[in-house]
Structure 1
C-alpha cells in the first residue's frame, strides 16, 4: 500500500498558498558531497540493495567499503549541487500495465541507483510511467533521495488558468510520495509556455519546486527554446542531442552555458535507433583508448564530453542495458579531436544518415497506455504522418 504524502494539503491547495523554504533544504540531500554514514535503520530500509545516498560507501555484509567514488558529475550552474552525468529517462519504457514488466523496470531503477545514478526524468505525458516510477521508487525507498525531473503538460480551461497545471503538480507529488519540493519542473515541449514559465517561477518562489526549465525534442523548435533560455531565467533546458543529432551544439547549448543554464539531454541514444544500425558491428579500435567496451558507452560518452551538458537521460526497460549506460559516467571522456573522430566513424556506417527517419525503438514493443491510445486513434483516423 502506498503511503500518503507528508506534504500538508494547504501547501498544495491553491496559488495563494506557500510552502516555506525554511521547512525544507534548498539543495537536495542526496547531492551533498559531505561525508555521510548510513544509520542502521537506513541500511535496513534498503534491504541490502546498496540503495544509499550519493557519496555513501555501499555497505556489504562484511562491512567493507565499496571502491572509491569516481563518478563523472556536473555542477548545476548557480548551485553547489553536482549531478551524476547519466540519468534515467522513462518515456515508453516505464509505461506498462504488466506486473512482469514492472518487475523488470524495478530492476532497472535499482541498478541505476546502485551504480550511482540519481536523476530520474518523467512526465504525465508518458502514460503510466509516472505511476510506475513512483511505485518503484517507493519500493526501493529512494523517492525522498532521488533527483526528480518532472514536467508540466498543461493548458487550462481558459488563458492563464493554472488549475490544470496545479492539479498536475499535486498529482506528481502524490504519485512520487514526496514530502519535499519537486527538484525540477519543466514545461514539456513548450506547451502553453507563455503561461507555464511564469507559473513555474511562482512555484519556485513559493517553495513548491526547486528548479524550473523547458524541454523540446524537435530541433525545428530550437530557436524558440533558445529565446526562452536567453530571457526567462531558466535553471534547466532539456534538448535532444546525440552523436547523430548535433544541431543543439551549434547555438542552443552555448546559449545555455552563457546564461548559466543546466543542460539535460533527451534521446542521447536516439530511442535505440543508434544501437539498431550498429548491431553486430565491432567497436572501432580507437575506442579502447577511452576504455569504451560497449556502443552505449561510445554514444553516451560522446554526449557528456560536451562540458556544457549536465546530464544525459537514456531510457531503457532492460536491466542489462542500464548497466551499460551508467558505465559511461566512469573513466576518461573524449576530447574535441576524439569526438570528431567518433562522428566520422559513425558516418561510415550504413543507415547513420537515416537515423532520424527510422521508427523509434526498432524491434521493440511497449504495450502501455500511450501505445494503446495511439493505436486506437490510428485505426480511426483517415490520415497518419509518414
Structure 2
C-alpha cells in the first residue's frame, strides 16, 4: 500500500498541481505560474518519495475564529510556489479545522502531504480510544479518503503507548508513515533513543541557525537509522527576524542569491543534507514567498554555513533568542489563546 500511495512531485505532477488548476474558475490563483525545475526536494529514506524541502507549519498562526481568508491565502501561496508539506496537530486549537476547510476549498487535500500528530493519553494505561478518536477527527477535518501521510507522537506524549499504536496503524493501512517529535533541546537525548530503537519513518526536531544542538547527535542518528528529518521552529517563531529587523544582509549572502533574511535562515537549515523538510509557520501571506524561495537556487556549503553562523553571532540579541517570547509583536486570538487567558485569570501562579 505504501508504494501505491507514495507521493513524489515529478515535473508532470508539479505542472498539474502547482498552479492550483483544480480551483473553481475565477478563483484567485487559478492561473498560477508553473513551478520551476530547480525546486529543492529530498527523498524520504527507504522510499522513492520526494518532498519539497520547505513545508508549512501551523502552530498558533492558523488558530483563528475569524480570519480564515488570511489562512486561505497563506495556504494558496505556499501551494502555488510548489510547497506540498503541511504540519498540523489537534494541540493547535482551530488550526487543523481551518487547514482542512481551506484544503477542501482549494481542492488540494488529495495531493498535499499531511504531517499530523497524536497528542493523547487515555482513560487508563494502554487505552487507545483517545488516540483513535484523535486520528478519526484528523481524517474528518481533512476530508481524507486515504491513509494519513504521516502521524507523529507529539512531543513524546504517552510515547510508550503511542509509538506501538502508530506501528499498528501503519500495518493496518491507517497511516503511511510514523514519527516522533519534540521542540525542547533538553528532550533530544530521549528523542534520539526512540529514533534508534523504535524505527520511526520521521523525526521532527527544533533546529535553526541559533538552536543547533540537534546536529550534534540527533540528526546524525536519524541519518544513520534511515529516518527522515522534519524541522520545527527554523525561524525561531519570528524571533530571528526580530533581531535582524532593519539590518542589511551580509554581502556574501547576496553573492549566493540570498535576497531576504528568511532565505538566509531557511537555506542554512536545509543545507544540512540530513534535513528532509523545514516547517516555517507564518500568518502573513506576504512572507510565504520569502519562505518558499529558500527551496530554489544554490545552498551554502559547509564553510559558508559556518560563516553564516559567525555573522549572526555578531548581531545583538542573537545569544538571547531562547529567552525571548515567541512571535514578538504578534498576537493570536484563537482557541489556544482564549483557553490560556481563562486559566491565567483563575490561577494564582504563572510561569515567568
TM-score (norm 1): 0.87
Q: CA deviation at 1:375?
A: 1.1
The corresponding residue for 2:110 is 144
Distance (Å, rounded) in 2 between the aligned partners of 1:280 and 1:71: 29
The corresponding residue for 1:314 is 280
Q: Which aligned segments of 4 or more residues in structure 1 are displaced greater than 4 angstroms?
A: 36-39, 48-51
1:232 paired to 2:198: yes
Could you report, residue by residue, the CA deviation over 1:105-140 in whole angstroms, capped at 9, with x for unpaired residues? 100000000000000000000000000000000000
**What do you get for the CA RMSD once the two structures are aligned?**
1.9
1:175 paired to 2:154: no
Contiguous gaps of at least 5 residues in structure 2: none
Q: CA deviation at 1:48?
A: 6.4
Distance (Å, rounded) in 1 between the aligned partners of 2:27 and 2:199: 39
1:80 paired to 2:59: no
Distance (Å, rounded) in 1 between the aligned partners of 2:111 and 2:119: 24
Matches within 5 A, 1:215-230: 215-230=181-196
Q: CA deviation at 1:149?
A: 0.1
Distance (Å, rounded) in 1 between the aligned partners of 2:84 and 2:285: 16
Contact 2:206 2:214 (8 Å CA) reproduced? yes
The corresponding residue for 2:212 is 246
The corresponding residue for 2:171 is 205
Distance (Å, rounded) in 2 between the aligned partners of 1:241 and 1:333: 17
Q: CA deviation at 1:26?
A: 3.0
The corresponding residue for 1:3 is none
**Largest Rg, 1 or 2:** 1
Match of 1:291 among 249, 252, 257: 257
Match of 1:282 among 238, 244, 248: 248
The corresponding residue for 1:353 is 319
Distance (Å, rounded) in 1 between the aligned partners of 2:16 and 2:72: 23
Q: CA deviation at 1:66?
A: 3.2
TM-score (norm 2): 0.95
1:257 paired to 2:231: no
Distance (Å, rounded) in 1 between the aligned partners of 2:192 and 2:347: 35
Q: CA deviation at 1:43?
A: 3.6
Contact 1:217 1:240 (8 Å CA) reproduced? yes
What secondary structure sits across from 2:79 in the alignment?
A: helix
The corresponding residue for 1:17 is none
Pair 1:367–1:67, CA change in 2 (3 A) = closer
Distance (Å, rounded) in 2 between the aligned partners of 1:67 and 1:59: 12
Could you report, residue by residue, the CA deviation over 1:284-319 in whole angstroms, capped at 9, with x for unpaired residues? 111112100000000000000000000000000101
The corresponding residue for 2:5 is 26
Q: CA deviation at 1:68?
A: 3.6
Match of 1:69 among 29, 37, 44: 37
1:371 paired to 2:350: no
Distance (Å, rounded) in 2 between the aligned partners of 1:283 and 1:72: 23
Could you report, residue by residue, the CA deviation over 1:194-252 in whole angstroms, capped at 9, with x for unpaired residues? 00000000000000000000000000000000000000011000000000000000000
1:337 paired to 2:316: no
Could you report, residue by residue, the CA deviation over 1:41-70 in whole angstroms, capped at 9, with x for unpaired residues? x9454546697xxxxxx967xxxx836421
Pair 1:149–1:43, CA change in 2 (3 A) = same
The corresponding residue for 1:12 is none
Matches within 5 A, 1:46-61: 47=25
Could you report, residue by residue, the CA deviation over 1:149-204 in whole angstroms, capped at 9, with x for unpaired residues? 00000000010000000000100000000010000000000000000000000000
The corresponding residue for 2:69 is 103
The corresponding residue for 2:12 is 35
Pair 1:47–1:77, CA change in 2 (3 A) = farther
Distance (Å, rounded) in 2 between the aligned partners of 1:97 and 1:313: 23
Distance (Å, rounded) in 2 between the aligned partners of 1:332 and 1:273: 25
Contiguous gaps of at least 5 residues in structure 1: 1-20, 52-57
Pair 1:357–1:68, CA change in 2 (3 A) = closer
The corresponding residue for 2:159 is 193
How many aligned residue pairs are there? 349
